[in-house]
């Protein structure tokens, strides 16, 4: 019987373009169910795909603080999230849901 060789799956290896990163983030936002650390981990995957050093430089944050903030073990501040999203070449936008679509 032949041995099956497996390797660890790393989503960062498959996030090559801004469009792929945007689709990945969109899917993660839908699945997160309010888990900010899950979103931080997704941003960490994208930062690794682009290059953590480059994202650190573009966001004005240190590499070490990015690794900690985007590890998925904590929920980073919203300012950090916005800086990372901008450094990844993405934009954050809001969309109304029907469930919350009523006048105040």
Q: Is the pTM for the entire model greater than 0.95?
A: no
Quick one: pLDDT band at residue 94, thresholds 50, 70, 90?
Answer: confident
Domain boundaries along the sequence of the chain: 17-90
Coil vs helix vs strand at 20: helix
The contacts of residue 88 (CB under 8 Å, 6+ apart) are 18, 21, 43, 46, 47, 50, 55
What's the confidence (pLDDT) of residue 96?
Answer: 85
What's the confidence (pLDDT) of residue 70?
Answer: 95
Q: Flag whether pLDDT at 104 surpasses 60.
A: no
Quick one: pLDDT band at residue 95, thresholds 50, 70, 90?
Answer: confident
Range 71-78 average pLDDT: 90
């Amino acid at each position: 019987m032949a041995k099956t060789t497996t390797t660890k799956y790393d989503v960062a290896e498959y996030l090559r373009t801004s469009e792929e990163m945007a689709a990945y983030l969109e899917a993660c936002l839908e699945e997160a169910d309010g888990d900010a650390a899950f979103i931080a981990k997704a941003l960490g995957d994208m930062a690794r795909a682009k290059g953590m050093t480059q994202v650190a430089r573009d966001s004005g944050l240190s590499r070490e603080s990015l690794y900690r903030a985007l590890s998925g073990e904590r929920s980073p501040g919203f300012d950090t999230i916005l800086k990372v999203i901008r450094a990844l070449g993405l934009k954050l936008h809001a969309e109304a849901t029907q469930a919350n679509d009523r006048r105040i």
